[in-house]
Amino acid sequence: MIICGQEFEFSALNANDLDRMDAAQQHMQAASDRESKRAHTGPADILRGQCRLMMGYFDELLGEGASERLGLDGNNFGACVRVTNAIKEAIAAEQATVKQAAAMPMNREQRRAVAKQKKTVPYKVISTPKTTTEDTFIRGQTEVSYGGEPDVVVPALTDEQKTEQLIDARQAVDALRDDPDAMQQLAAYALQIAAERHV
């Protein structure tokens, strides 16, 4: 499996490798329990502890020295999260190849039904705004009328809104720096997300 440009002897389609993944997750959870009871000197210490947990997991899952090959130094939690996401994506890609290969071939009638379904548009966009009715939604200056289930329409953020979100995020991070307990909770939550993404 290729992870962050490095090849490892691991496959989500190999039962032995999945057993190793389960064992690594159990060991990481036990180490996380010990880490949460350890006295921390501050937010940086908490992040380094979380990095150590994840690096131990990667080394057990992908082989000794995997963390070093992936460029992890035990200080950058963001890099650990990127590796976690890369592993998740590589596993999903492997599983997708199996699903695609296992797909049953369709006969002519089934292919035509699929093609006809793809041509159907679930809703239409009308540029003139009108009042809301039972089967019409107004989003901004555009009316969206649909038959059946509507697609989710997410309005684009303006530069001002993006700037406000960035300022809010920075203030939240600054507030965390002054609260070691909140930082510990954030790190534990990130670890939980990382563990769940490996399943």
How far CA 69 is from CA of 35, 65, 79, 138, in Å, comes to 25, 6, 13, 52
DSSP 29-79: HHHHHHHHHS--SSHHHHHHHHHHHHHHHHHHHH-TTHHHHTT--SS-HHH
Q: What is the pLDDT of residue 133?
A: 44
Q: What is the pLDDT of residue 145?
A: 44
How far CA 5 is from CA of 2, 19, 83, 87, 92, in Å, comes to 6, 24, 11, 11, 16
Q: What is the pLDDT of residue 53?
A: 92
pTM recorded for the entire structure: 0.51
Q: What is the pLDDT of residue 25?
A: 92
| Beta carbons within 8 Å of 149's beta carbon, 6+ residues apart | 122
Q: What is the pLDDT of residue 20?
A: 92
- Closest-CA residue to 197 (of 91, 95, 48): 91
For 18, half-sphere exposure in the C-beta direction (CA atoms, 13 angstrom radius) is: 7
- Closest-CA residue to 198 (of 119, 87, 120, 114): 87
In the chain, which residues have pLDDT < 70? 100-106, 118-157, 168-191, 194-195, 197-199
Three-state secondary structure call for residue 25: helix
pLDDT digits (tens, 9 = 90+) for 1-43: 889 888 999 888 899 999 999 999 999 999 999 988 888 888 8
